[in-house]
Amino acid sequence: MSRTLFEKIVAREIPAQIIHEDDLALAFHDIHPQAPVHVLVIPKKPIPRIAEACESDQALLGHLMWTAARVAEKLELTAGGYRLVINNGANGGETVPHLHCHLLGGRPMAWPPG
């Protein structure tokens, strides 16, 4: 099976502005930011989307949320607030089939989302 764009970023085959890395996760700035701060937090394991995460991925999914909050702190978003988004499938707006959590901040977010 072909490797995802984000696996290539993990392997440093495609450049990205990486802001955090640990054994399980990578965080990097989105190439088309939708807010003053727009970071993607991904598992290194290529889970295609949240719907396809396994029971055994639960700790990893928690780690992604925890990491997103730490990255938000590092970017000084905590006081002002921020949004975490996971798009799943066509109606969710998913375009890259490698699970990722969007961290958006630096401006007020509208609700409902588009």
User: Does residue 69 bind ligand AMP (CB under 6 A)?
Assistant: no
Q: What is the nearest approach in angstroms of ligand AMP to the Cβ of residue 78?
A: 22
User: Does residue 19 bind ligand AMP (CB under 6 A)?
Assistant: no
12 Cβ neighbours under 8 A, 6+ residues apart: none
Catalytic one of 38, 63, 100, 102: 100
- Region binding ligand AMP by CB under 6 A among candidate stretches 18-26, 55-63, 67-75, 88-96: 88-96
Active site residue 100: yes
Give, in order, the Cα–Cα distances in Å from 47 to each of 9, 15, 52, 113. Answer: 15, 21, 7, 25
Site for ligand AMP in 24-43 (CB under 6 A): 30-32, 40
Q: At 26, which helix (H) or strand (E)?
A: strand 25-29
Give, in order, the Cα–Cα distances in Å from 18 to each of 10, 27, 50, 63. Answer: 9, 6, 22, 17
User: Does residue 109 bind ligand AMP (CB under 6 A)?
Assistant: no
- The site for ligand AMP (CB under 6 A) is made up of 5, 14, 16, 30-32, 40, 87, 93-96
